[in-house]
Structure 1
Amino acid sequence: MAADFWAGYLSGAIGIIIGNPLDMIKVRLQASNINAANVTTASGLRGQFESAGSLVRGATAPILGYGALNALLFVAYNRTLLYLSPSTVDPTNPIGVPLTQIWLAGAVGGLASWTISSPTELVKCRVQLNTHEPVSSWAIAKDILRARGLKGFYFGGLVTSIRDSVGYGFYFWSYELSKRFMDSRNASPQQEAAKILLCGGIAGVVTWASVFPLDVIKTRLQAQPFPDSSLRPERGPLLASTTRSQTAATGRLLNSMEVVKQAYRSEGLSIFYRGLGVCSLRAFIVNAVQWATYEWVIRLLEQPRDLPRIIEKI
């Protein structure tokens, strides 16, 4: 367990450090009426982000939480795959295992990781969307715990669990499918590294494309201001376009279906795909690095196990 746990933890933390600025842009595109085309210009970026420091806002919770999330994801995936296919010698290289079993193992891993991803995503989104007055991840977490208890960290949890389960099913499925298409048994170390980077990037893009509408719903659901919050920025709109019409008219937090109806009525079907381009760019870069880190750490940590076999051959 130690190898895949630490490989997953380190790769997850590195992925967040690399991808947080683009994730910040994605979340703000999802939660507001910002035009995606405007964000691609220098003036558009300056207009939507208060300072250069705001691009790393909300990174604390994911760095701490996503490392653990990724560790749990890979451990659950590997154990589930071994259960579904006991003949598998190496779950990190499941040659011959049906892709349906790989998808199912990934879905189970995603569902297991939801226990960490739901509170992490809630805190991250609320920190990233506070445009009027910066609030730390720790302050947001304490406020949620005081006002709503532990249950409050799982606000929007159902949508998040479906997103994680479906998304991570496609994550491992697309990674393994890409590796099989690019079979390179006689490849050089450089070619093997390039293959891992490319397959990891493809897996990231496929994953987010499969669940992006669910992620938009999750973001808009979690962007609603909590009326019982003691933090002044939290009591006001996190982003005006998302929350003004949602909570002002009803005086309560909307559920997932109400968020979907409100978003569709006000902005049409395109709202459920806003930010997909930025997200795809981030997903390719982050997941290419994550998979490369994971594979490298796994091999590094498992070398001691291979020493007796290497010595015997010598």
Structure 2
Amino acid sequence: MALDFGFGFVAGVTGTIAGYPFDTVKVRLQTQTLNHRLYSGSLDCFIKIAKQESILGFYKGMTSPMFGVAIINGIVFSIQNTSKGLFDNPDTYFSLAVTGAIAGCVQSFICSPIELVKTRLQMQGIGQQRKLFALSTHLYKGPIDCMKKSYTRQGFRYGVLRGLSMTLARDIPSFAAYFPAWQFFVSHFSPTGKEADMPMYMSLIGGAFTGIAAWTVSYPFDVIKSRYQAARDHAYKNVWDCAVKSFRMEGWQVFTRGFLPCTLRAIPTNAFTYPVYSFLKRTFDTPLDDNDETLVTTKIVTTSKPMSSTTTSTPAIASI
């Protein structure tokens, strides 16, 4: 178990580093308003961050999600595997959706504070650029300082857990879509119905496919979550007020803002995470047995094709 956690941790770090620049662009686009429009689109945002803040600008706030990914993935796959006991046939698409939703619900309570810190640090400029970010009125030295100031100013419920309801609204449908999506991909593109028998390039494509599917069904909630977490203390009464005001001012397009960099992020994040884990597992530990029904901590859970006894392994999804 300790080795598996270590492998998952390294794989999670790799996936986070690969996809984090796209996440920074996504958050910047999500949180800008019509009154403070700094970027005309994804490419413009990439260029301006690179010019004004250097490559380090793309990796602001990465520490907390990077170390949190391993913990979150461990919770997701442990809860999802345990929840299968609720069903006589746990490997149908419906069962996978329900167990995924339960896992998404539980991990949200850890994921939300981590993303609060990440979002607020991503919204900070470097040097004079701090003045450009109207939503970042309080500057933080790092993740710990950000968490301390959030707690001091707003308490635990409205500070540390700010945006929890939107995290729940996002992650419950997201993980409910993820596990069935991976099962669908494997059952249609593996010659034997087993993930192990798919070529490496198909595993990479499958990881990207499931990541994009999970984000597509939940993305509007992520926009509101990011706006609410990054906003001034009294900009919105609650997340519903944030959603209503955003819609009235900017129309329905506001709920898709930043979707392109989000999908671009999902591709390398999900494509890198599982291959790295698999490589470490093969190199430093014994190979997985196809008949093993045991959960592999943080990165692999053994599932079955719907209405079948064929075994497949599921690559981890990066939640932040």
The TM-score, its normalising length taken from structure 2, stands at: 0.75
Cα separation, 2, equivalents of 1:108 and 1:163: 13
Show the counterpart of 2:19. 19
Q: Which residue of 2 aligns with 1:45?
A: 48
SS at the partner of 1:58? coil
User: Structure 1 stretch 268-277 or stretch 137-146: which is displaced more?
Assistant: 137-146
Match of 2:273 in 1: 290
CA–CA distance in structure 2, aligned partners of residues 256 and 275 of structure 1 = 19
Deviation digits for residues 71-96 of structure 1, max 9, x if unmatched? 11111122223x145677xxxxxxxx
- Aligned position for 2:147: 141
Per the TM alignment, residue 51 of structure 1 is displaced from its structure 2 partner at its CA by 2.8
- Aligned residue number for residue 260 of structure 1: 243
Residues 271/293 of structure 1: CA separation in 2 closer, same or farther (3 Å cut): same
Does 1:213 pair with 2:213?
no
Structure 1 residue 110 corresponds to structure 2 residue 104:
yes
Aligned to 1:79: 82
Matching residue's letter, 1:121: E
Q: 1:110 to 1:282 in 2, by over 3 A?
A: same
C-alpha separation in 2, matches of 1:35 and 1:181: 43
1:1-314 alignment, distance < 5 Å: 5-33=5-33, 34=37, 38-41=41-44, 44-46=47-49, 49-81=52-84, 83-85=85-87, 97-131=91-125, 132=130, 135-151=141-157, 152-185=159-192, 191-226=198-233, 247=235, 253-296=236-279, 303=286
Asked if structure 2 preserves the Cα contact closer than 8 Å seen for 1:49 and 1:55, the reply is no
What is the match of residue 305 of structure 2?
A: none
After superposition, give the CA deviation of every residue in 1:231-256 in whole Å (9 maximum; x if it has no partner): xxxxxxxxxxxxxxxx2xxxxx4211
- Offset, 1:200: 0.6
**CA separation in 1, counterparts of 2:192 and 2:174?**
29
**Structure 2 CA distance for partners of 1:13 and 1:115, relative to 1, 3 Å:** farther
| Structure 1 residue 36: Cα displacement | 6.5
| C-alpha deviation, 1:220, in angstroms | 0.8
Contact 2:49 2:58 in 1 (8 A): no
Deviation at 1:11, TM superposition (A): 3.1
Percent identity among equivalent residues? 28
Deviation at 1:64, TM superposition (A): 1.7
Counterpart-to-counterpart distance in 1, 2:259 and 2:288: 42
In structure 2, C-alpha distance between the alignment counterparts of 1:290 and 1:223, rounded to whole Å: 28
Report the structure, 1 or 2, having the larger helix content.
1
The alpha-carbon distance between structure 1 residues 162 and 9, as it changes in their structure 2 partners (threshold 3 A), is farther
Contact 1:20–1:55 under 8 Å retained in 2:
yes
Note if contact 1:110-1:164 (Cα within 8 Å) is conserved in structure 2: yes
Q: Which amino acid aligns with 1:148?
A: Q
Q: Relative CO higher for 1 or 2, CA cutoff 8 Å, sep ≥ 6?
A: 2
Shift of 1:226: 3.0
User: What do you get for the CA RMSD once the two structures are aligned?
Assistant: 3.1
* Unaligned residue ranges in structure 2 (runs of 5+): 131-138, 293-320
Alpha-carbon shift at residue 221 of structure 1 (Å): 0.8
Identify if the C-alpha distance between structure 1 residues 16 and 100 changes in structure 2 by more than 3 Å, giving closer, same or farther: same
Alpha-carbon spacing, 1:207–1:304, altered in 2? closer, same or farther (3 Å): closer
Which piece of structure 1 moves more, 257-266 or 295-304? 295-304
Letter in 1 for 2:212: V
The C-alpha deviation readout for 1:165-223, integer Å capped at 9, x for no partner, is 11111111111111111022399979532222111100011111111100001011111
Tell me if structure 2 keeps the 8 A contact 1:163–1:214. Answer: yes
The aligned amino acid for 1:138 is I
Higher mean C-alpha deviation, range 109-118 or range 1-10: 1-10
Q: Alignment length, in residue pairs?
A: 274
CA gap 1:79/1:7 in 2 versus in 1, 3 angstroms: farther
